[in-house]
Chain A
Amino acid sequence: MTRELSAQELNRRCDPAQFAFGTTAELEADRRVFGQERAVSAIELSLEIAQEDFNLFALGPAGTGKHTVVGDHLDRLAPTRPAPSDLCYVNNFEDAARPSLLELPAGAGRRLARDMDQLIEDVPLALRQAFESEEYQQRREALMQEGRETAEGAFEEARRRAAEKNVAILRTPGGMALAPTKDGEVISPDELEDEQKAQLERVFEEIQEQLRAALRQMPRAERAQREKGRALDREVTGAALEPLFEELRRKHHAHAGVLSFLRAVEQDLLRDPHGLVEEGTPLGLFGSGGDGRQRLRGYRVNVVVDHAETQGAPVVHEEHPTYENLMGRIDHRVQMGALTTDYMLIRSGALHRARGGYLLLEAEKVLMQPYAWEGLKRALATRRIRVEPLGRALGLISTTTLEPEPAPLEVRVVLFGSPLLYYLLGAYDTDFQKLFKVAADFDDQMPLEPESRQLYAHLLARIGRDAHLLPLDRTGVARMVEESSRIAGDAERLTALTGRVSDLLKEADHWARREGGAAIAADHVARAAASKEARSDRVRERIHREILRGSIFIDSDRARGGQVNGLAAAALGDYTFGYPVRITARTSMGKDGVLDIEREVELGGPIHSKGVLILSGFLSGRYASNEPLSLSASLVFEQSYGGVEGDSASSAELYALLSAISGLPLRQDLAVTGSVDQHGRVQPIGAVNEKVEGFFDVCAARGLTGSQGVLIPEANVKHLMLRPRVVEAVERGTFHVYAIATVDEGIALLTGAPAGDPDEHGAYPEGTVNRAVSERLGELGRRLRELENPTPVVEPPAGHEVAAEEPVVEDWSGEDAT
């Protein structure tokens, strides 16, 4: 039953008197979340459950407070959890390319690093003292002397044997030569007889062999001497370093990893302690010298994650989640034009810093960064953080670099993203559901109930406090509740887009302060809302202007056949507006059914096309249940130059069709919105408020006639939160809003004729719309059959004439019917 709505039904007012406070300043801080119980429950589960892989994906439209809600939970939870361990990388003395990882209690990493820096300062001094000690010098000299004597002994023996046989050993540029002597003086071999020469040659052979034997001994002797020297060095070095290491071992006795590292350092120091004494040598032009300093650098500790100052579990929000920012990186330094690196240049990533705590990431940003998503999944799946250059991880480069020992990973990752992203990942990424088992689904709306109004006041108070805004008085709160419903597009709900609410509140605060007010009142909120609309409505205003100027043809009075005012809505960012569109239909004899011109030219979206096809179903079901629908009709959104989507105009299209078929004109002072099903029921649509206001604004600008109005689906009445200008016009009776449930109600209102119910034979009463439609379709069907199957010529009986049938008026639905 068509129902004209009262002004009260067009905007559910929020009564300020229901609030007991004077301003929101009186409200206590309340960080409870309401209207998002499902999401909150999921967050609690994910953040508190001990099981792995229960990572969280917080999904919802932007501005639903995902970050705030998760942040509030973590603010409460993280401080109660223990601070995780520090992570340090140290030199792996067995394989410098694979630095070792030390995991130490919070704060111990920094202490160890400090102690090792001190050790590095102390070692050269201690060694220098040891090597300059009289004891060491004397023992070293004794060793060297022993070595010299051992080496020289063999030569002395050869020299002595040579002297006995009157042979001298002379030094030559390349070695040694033997010469005969007489009375200790070298003589020329030419002075010798042949026999003496032959004998001398044998002696030379013998001595040469002795010398060769002595030379062969040399490396062995030198090696033995070096080994003795090393043993002495080890002994002295050990004695010099023991007090230093003893202290370190005592300080870090609880950490087996540190003790093992200290043992490795000690062993390395013993390897070549003399090199370390030269620690002060400056590096030469080509990096020569300074070996000692380089080695000492190898004892430093790289604390990549330091939790000395961390209270509770860490909460890391990585704003720029590149692969390296997540996984860590290995820096390089330029040295004489070449890039070099070592374990001290390993840098932590967000995963390292968030170990034992929580890592918050924007899903879209992670997916936009090359290989960041793959790296994150791999780390979560393997529970290891492997720091490696991206090129190497991808197998693109194989240059030598570091392969640090992976760090164990225990972390709860929270991804923030849109529902679309969540569902896409779920559908296409097989790892996603395994790694992110919990979804916190944030709704963009919440129910409007008496209690929720009070809670909403608390929410507004909190937003105001966080942003340092003026408090709201009761009228301000009430108006904010109304605006929230308006944003939600539902009189029975509130928006959960706290971002938009916050923006509106800030703007209202601006106007309140400008007026010198102490609190934000309803007027300030209204002004803020109007101001925002005014800033955003350039496109709406242009369409509106062109309608008034007659460039876009929209009738707002009289009646026309085959034409109806539909209502369209356009969304530009967070601003939505409605405007009337002229929908026309034309019919002709044929069997093509209803032709959607928008679809034919590919301007109609699939849902729009679906709506039009439903019309064919309706027409066939109602008017052609016993015979084929013999109709060709076309539908179009006139002066539409862009895409058309949605089925909210399908009822309007049906009215235009029925008008075109029946020849009954439709009222142009009414506009229509609502989709329709195959049985003729009118279904709810979106943006009902904006659509009603769109037609109202055109009518109001031309001058309200008192008969103008809008037909909306009955199911949309609960969504009405119309602006005061519409409500006031309805209150005055100069504008009307009709709620209809069926197409029959709508067509009756638009044509002024009843729709008509079928009798027991399916026939409609005379004077009804359905009768006119039914008859016209029947007539078209007969004509079509006659054309397709002409009647055979039979000679009539004499004196009998067959009257010629009247010609069919194909279509007059486009004609002005007033």
Chain B
Amino acid sequence: MTAEDPPFPRRPERIMVALDEAPTSERVLAFACRLAAATGARLTGLFVEDSQLLELAGSGLARELGSYSGAARSLSASGLERALETQAGAVQQRLQEAARRAGVRWSFRMLRGPIHRELLSASGPEDLLILGRGRRRRGLGAAVRRLVEEGRGSILVLGPELTPESRSVVVQAATEDAEPAILAAADLAATLGGALEVLLPAGGELREPRLRELLAGRRLALHVRTLARLDVDAIFSEHGPRDADLLVLPPGEPFDRREVRLAVLARARGPVLLLG
């Protein structure tokens, strides 16, 4: 990062991406590569061997149920470790190929422990942590929920409908404190080559003239939508973000409250960036 480069959220130094063998992981990796290429950030792939699972496998009660066949079979610690290593190797290979295609610097770390804790400890406040969440889950998985609850930095959660074609960026902004978030969203919008839509709550401190002044000179298709009130229902009203839109939530009230963050994530089908 150079002296001219603004600190994150506008220019992350590292992009940490949590990877596994899940189907969504492929698309998460593609999006992370695209973002890293656009921002010049270094990409680090994180693969966590779930210690709880390993511990379970060591006990006599462990059984694995086939995800397709439904057949139950014993789960040994050594067998699980081998399987996880194999997965990690495959994930690393995918990361290497994707990074080469995108032309980004990359590294890979294999961690062991509780998933959310390992991811939190691996990423700092100036990093951007990218996660994916499965399509079949109703609500959020335990790991994502814990990360959102406990995370200090910025976290980008890619929804089940994520596609690499995401173009529009929607940012909710209430106060002038949200200005860095607006600029970060504008950078992302420019990176993604799409439009920027700003949701301004009625009666908020930040007004449209100031907003336009802030974004003057940027080649963006800017849309401003006024929210009747500042809550989750208003954001996901009839004209709320579409599945392919990236929703950016600034730090501060009310989005630093974990129940609000979780509510937003529960409603969103598309990607959500929680700025720390």
Measured CB to CB, the residues of A under 8 A from B are: 148-149, 151-152, 155-156, 168, 170-180, 186, 188-190, 197, 200-201, 204, 208, 211-212, 215-216
Contacts and interface: CB of A to CB of B under 8 A. Distances in A.
A186 B57 CA distance: 13
B80 A201 contact: no
A450 to B, nearest CB: 99
Given A175-B65, A188-B55, A215-B68, 18 more contacts: A151-B136, A168-B142, A170-B50, A170-B53, A172-B53, A172-B64, A177-B56, A177-B63, A179-B52, A180-B61, A186-B52, A188-B56, A188-B58, A189-B59, A189-B62, A201-B61, A215-B67, A215-B70
B11 to A, nearest CB: 34
B66 A174 contact: yes
Contacts of B59: 188-190
Interface in B87-143: 87, 135-138, 142
Given A172-B80, A173-B21, A178 B63 contact: yes
Interface of B: 21-22, 50, 52-53, 55-70, 72, 75, 80, 83-84, 86-87, 135-138, 142
Nearest to A197: B61
B86 A173 contact: yes
A200 B83 contact: no
A176 B138 contact: no
A189 B53 contact: no
A188 B60 CA distance: 11
Nearest to A153: B138
Contacts, number: 85
A211 B80 CA distance: 21
Given A189-B61, A204-B61, A170 B56 contact: yes
A209 to B, nearest CB: 9
B163 to A, nearest CB: 13
A186 B50 CA distance: 11
Nearest to B50: A170
Contacts of A204: 61, 63
Closest 9 CB pairs of A and B: A189-B59, A173-B83, A175-B67, A212-B70, A215-B70, A186-B52, A189-B61, A175-B66, A179-B56
A193 to B, nearest CB: 13
A176 B141 CA distance: 14
A386 B171 CA distance: 71
A170 B84 CA distance: 14
Contacts of B55: 186, 188
Contact of A155 (B50, B62, B63, B136): B136
Contacts of B65: 175-178, 208, 211-212
A179 B70 contact: no
A156 B138 CA distance: 8
Contacts of B135: 148
Task: Find the residue from B52, B61, B75, B137 having the highest chain A CB count within 10 A.
Answer: B61
Given A208-B65, A208-B72, A152 B137 contact: yes
Given A172-B64, A173-B80, A177-B65, A148 B70 contact: no
B190 to A, nearest CB: 27
B53 A179 contact: yes
Nearest to B51: A186
Contacts of B62: 177, 189
20 contacts: A168-B142, A170-B50, A170-B52, A173-B80, A175-B64, A177-B53, A177-B63, A177-B65, A178-B65, A179-B56, A186-B55, A188-B58, A189-B59, A189-B60, A190-B59, A197-B60, A197-B61, A200-B61, A212-B70, A212-B72
